Structure 1
Amino acid sequence: MAVVQTACKKSAKASRPDHRCKATSEVQRVSFNLHAGIFRRFTGRIAVANNDFLFTSESVSEGHPDKVADQISDSILDAILEQDPTARVAAETLCNTGLVVLAGEITTTANVDYIQVARDTIKRIGYDNTEYGIDYKGCAVLVAYDKQSPDIAQGVDRSSEEVLNQGAGDQGLMFGYACDETPDLMPAPIWYAHRLVQRQSELRKDGRLPWLRPDAKSQVTFRYVDGKPAEVDTVVLSTQHAPDISQAEIHEAVIENIIKPSFPDGLLTPKTKFMINPTGVFVIGGPQGDCGLTGRKIIVDTYGGACPHGGGAFSGKDPSKVDRSAAYAARYVAKNIVAAGLARQCQVQVSYAIGVAEPINITVYTEGTGVIPDEQIARLVRENFDLRPKGIINMLDLLRPIYAKTAAYGHFGRAEPEFSWEASDKVQALKKAA
């Protein structure tokens, strides 16, 4: 930059004060390209035309210790919202061998048996035997909730002429993403990774593979050609199991009953590598194998690394927390943009200041796939979506007890009737406005 600025000064001395300095233009061009490059870099994937690359995402089952914690937190949130839709909830959970700790901040008029909610959640997941490391009947549950800080509450709840001017519950940045790689407009690696662990859970619960246990992880690596998913390079699947089954039996059953039915014809090839329980044994799992904490699977919860993440977890938070509600809204925006045919890929960033209703920025980036300029799409977003916190809550009807279902197998890319942020009901409005 210094060299260019020096050149600019020399040019100015050279007698053309009425004309724009070419060196200054070069500085701005370099700055713009640098900014665009940084933005592209942090979209997670760099899709280079006429080039192929590998991209990997992972998922975990409902029995993974961190997901046990997420589901307890969101089940507590739902139990509160059933009685008190305007409650302020930030419910955190820790789970270890035989122990669950509930902490955080809750301000509500609801009367909830938090201990029973935690036990019911653990039972629903499938931890109903002391041999699994945690048993809903006998585990200890400690409760240590405080109320929401009044300093935070005054920024969120302060009166205004318009109820829509409810302030954001915290500062932060959130991202939403959609692409045309799968029917649900999600990146292929995370979408199929979720399908694998969902299939594992299904076969465990219906008894077809009775030796399966609740804890499992999947990882899918896709080969992209010309920026599009072409084939599966590697599948890793680790599943907790009963101690009396051989690894050979596990290997065959997982490939034939879990992996192959989860992919359509053509994606798995003779070159696809399968890695089943690579450590050899996975008997000890769940909270006994690892301590579980709410909010530690934020990439699994979103897009599998295919786009940036603002860092805020979702589970246990009521929708006044923009970490959750604005991320849902950003997905809603991005999905409608792609569904409307305005782009094949779309990343949306929004950011907020605590206590302030209007978002600081709304930025759209279509990775070069937009049919109109990104700035024009961003204008359409501002005109068609109310991204103030209360506007988001109203737009997506977020004061319902719908969150326990989100806490396993991804918050996005699922055709669940409660998931209002997965609707494509703004498509016609966007097409008309474009």
Structure 2
Amino acid sequence: FGYATNETPSYMPFPITMAHKIIRNIDEARLQKRISFLRPDGKSQVTIRYEDWKPVAIEKIVVAVPHDPKYTNEEVAENIYNEIIEPLVDSYQLPYERTKESYIVNGTGVWTHGGPDSDTGLTGRKIIVDTYGGMGRHGGGAFSGKDPSKVDRSASYAARHVAKNLVAAGVAERIEVQVAYVIGHTEPVSIMVETFGTAKITETQITEIVEKIFDLSPRSIIQRLDLLKPRYQSTAA
């Protein structure tokens, strides 16, 4: 599955976009020593209120991040809010009211050790945060640990590439692309699109466009997206 929406400049759902931005900004603050007591690892979840499939308010922000035990959880929460959350919320220009229920940091208390020491069995567990935060469907296969010959990974990238280009071209406001494969066949056995009633042309026409323009064979996907060049350093904590 690949999904795209016009609610953000990246054509990603707003909640997962904001959650990713929070974590990236926390990493930058840690590496730049702006919040020096933070440690690697962490996660975030953002709840957005929608009306007619449009984001209208930020309702809840949850952050978990390990830190030096010399600092209290309250100090961690306040520093993250002032340095990360408040500027980001202001940039989105959506209503948000900070309360004990709407802003939660390390909900179970102090967290000092992250990574495999505290949470083993990581591979394949984060398939939703790796994609659309639950907004679009997922085929069930993890990306991590697989080379691009596995369509669990490469075809998910390709389906997202297709969906993003269709939304960017104004074909629809939201699109989900579904591609199915069978072992031993070089081409997909099925291509389907769902536009949630937002398309300017029929879904049949969109499917025909996809089949005509995009070669979704694994070999072509690997070549087009340059998937034989792993990019570990740029994504490492």
> Aligning the two structures, in what range does the TM-score lie when normalised by the shorter sequence?
over 0.9
Structure with the bigger percentage of helix: 1
Structure with the bigger percentage of strand: 1
* CA deviation string 1:7-64 (max 9, x = no partner): xxxxxxxxxxxxxxxxxxxxxxxxxxxxxxxxxxxxxxxxxxxxxxxxxxxxxxxxxx
2:127 aligns to what?
Answer: 298
- 1:383 pairs with 207, 212, 225, which one? 212
User: Secondary structure of the equivalent of 1:213?
Assistant: coil
2:167 aligns to what?
Answer: 338
* CA deviation string 1:60-98 (max 9, x = no partner): xxxxxxxxxxxxxxxxxxxxxxxxxxxxxxxxxxxxxxx
Distance 1:366 1:407, change over 3 A: farther
Which residues of 2 match residues 27-426 of structure 1 at below 5 A? 175-263=1-89, 264-270=91-97, 273-402=102-231, 405=234
Aligned partners of 2:56 and 2:95 also within 8 Å: no
* Structure 1 residue 248: Cα displacement: 2.4
* Structure 1 residue 359: Cα displacement: 0.4
Unpaired stretches in structure 2, ≥5 consecutive residues: none
Q: For residues 390 and 236 of structure 1, what CA distance do their matches in structure 2 show?
A: 40
Partner amino acid for 1:325? S
* Structure 1 residue 225: Cα displacement: 1.1
Q: For residues 150 and 74 of structure 2, what CA distance do their matches in structure 1 show?
A: 47
User: Secondary structure of the equivalent of 2:158?
Assistant: helix
TM-score, normalization by structure 1: 0.52
Q: For residues 202 and 82 of structure 2, what CA distance do their matches in structure 1 show?
A: 46
Aligned partners of 2:181 and 2:187 also within 8 Å: yes
Distance 1:402 1:285, change over 3 A: closer
Aligned partners of 1:348 and 1:363 also within 8 Å: yes
Distance 1:276 1:229, change over 3 A: same
Alignment size in residue pairs: 234
Q: For residues 71 and 136 of structure 2, what CA distance do their matches in structure 1 show?
A: 39
Partner amino acid for 2:68? A
Aligned partners of 2:48 and 2:57 also within 8 Å: yes
Q: For residues 358 and 323 of structure 1, what CA distance do their matches in structure 2 show?
A: 15
Q: For residues 142 and 236 of structure 2, what CA distance do their matches in structure 1 show?
A: 11
Aligned partners of 2:148 and 2:222 also within 8 Å: yes
User: Secondary structure of the equivalent of 1:236?
Assistant: strand
Partner amino acid for 1:267? L
Structure 1 segments, 4+ long, off by >6 Å, are none
User: Secondary structure of the equivalent of 1:312?
Assistant: coil
Aligned partners of 1:199 and 1:262 also within 8 Å: no
TM-score, normalization by structure 2: 0.93
Distance 1:250 1:405, change over 3 A: same
User: Secondary structure of the equivalent of 1:230?
Assistant: strand
User: Secondary structure of the equivalent of 1:177?
Assistant: strand
Partner amino acid for 1:238? A
Unpaired stretches in structure 1, ≥5 consecutive residues: 1-174, 409-434
Q: Give aligned-pair identity as a percent.
A: 53
Q: For residues 142 and 233 of structure 2, what CA distance do their matches in structure 1 show?
A: 14
Aligned partners of 1:386 and 1:395 also within 8 Å: no
User: Secondary structure of the equivalent of 2:56?
Assistant: strand
Partner amino acid for 2:164? K
Across the aligned residues of Structure 1 and Structure 2, the Cα RMSD in angstroms comes to 1.6
Distance 1:241 1:271, change over 3 A: closer
